[in-house]
Every structure is written in structure tokens, then in C-alpha cells.
């Protein structure tokens, strides 16, 4: 592929990009890297390392090959395809309860805001009064 007159390296596709999480709920990042021979490889990185994810970096084939073999065995019949087409335009309800709890936990960890000693609320200036 050419970009602005020069050859651009082919971008590796990650089957699990932005959908892989460790057992503790931390996201696992999908990356590519190029070795000394110029060969591009896909990998997944989990930082900081946790007890369920022993190595910080894993090659992508560790996860992708079993998933590809399972998906290649799927057989979808005509009634299933019809149901999928029917539901394709429907809106999906989004559950925000996990995000709400995470925000509430974050706010609970923050110290309360206290006014400075001797300060008082500002009065609006005369030019801004109506």
C-alpha cells in the first residue's frame, strides 16, 4: 500500500482488539511490533501484570488460533440469518451500571472539597448585573 508516495507497512488486524480483558476486568492492549528482520508481529500486552496474567506480553496466535478454529466450524442456517437481518436495525439498550459504580467509587476516594479559610463567595461585578 502506498501512502504519500512511499510504501506503508501493512497493518496487522487484531481479532480481539478492544474486546480482551483479564479476569480482574483490566483491559488488554492489542499491539504490533517489528523485529530486526522487518517482520511485523501481533501481540497483546497487559500492564500492570496481575496474578491471572503471568506474562506481560503474549503473541496474538495464543488467543486467535483457537477462536478462528471454533468460528470456522459455525454453520448458520437460513432461519437464523433471517432473524439476524430482522434484528440488525434494532437499537441496543446500554447498561451503564458498571460505569456508574466505577465513577461513584472514584468520587468516594477523592477528598471532599473544602473552602479556604477566610474566603467568602464572590459577588458578581456591577457590569455583569442585569
Q: Give yes or no for a contact between 63 and 21, defined as CB atoms under 8 angstroms apart.
A: no
46-86 pLDDT, tens digit each: 887 788 777 788 888 888 888 888 888 988 899 988 988 88
* Phi and psi, residue 33, nearest 5°: -145, 155
In 1-130, beta strands by DSSP E: 2-3, 6-7, 29-34, 40-45, 57-59
What percent of the chain lies above the pLDDT cut of 90?
A: 4
Q: What local confidence, expressed as pLDDT, does residue 32 receive?
A: 84
Closest C-alpha among 59, 48, 60 to residue 22 = 48
- Looking at the whole model, is its pTM more than 0.85? no
Whole-number Å distance between alpha carbons of 86 and 16: 26
69-78 pLDDT, tens digit each: 888 898 889 9
Q: Give yes or no for a contact between 1 and 10, defined as CB atoms under 8 angstroms apart.
A: yes
* Phi and psi, residue 58, nearest 5°: -130, 140
Amino acid at each position: 500500500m502506498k501512502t504519500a508516495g512511499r510504501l506503508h507497512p501493512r497493518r496487522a488486524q487484531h481479532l480481539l482488539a478492544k474486546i480482551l480483558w483479564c479476569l480482574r476486568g483490566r483491559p488488554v492492549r492489542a499491539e504490533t511490533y517489528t523485529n530486526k528482520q522487518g517482520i511485523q508481529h501481533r501481540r497483546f500486552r497487559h500492564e500492570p501484570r496481575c496474578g491471572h496474567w503471568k506474562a506481560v506480553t503474549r503473541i496474538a496466535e495464543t488467543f486467535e488460533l483457537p477462536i478462528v478454529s471454533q468460528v470456522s466450524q459455525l454453520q448458520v442456517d437460513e432461519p437464523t440469518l433471517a432473524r439476524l437481518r430482522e434484528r440488525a436495525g434494532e437499537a441496543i439498550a446500554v447498561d451503564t451500571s458498571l460505569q456508574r459504580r466505577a465513577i461513584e467509587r472514584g468520587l468516594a476516594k477523592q477528598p471532599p472539597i473544602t473552602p479556604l479559610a477566610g474566603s467568602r463567595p464572590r459577588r458578581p461585578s456591577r457590569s455583569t448585573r442585569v
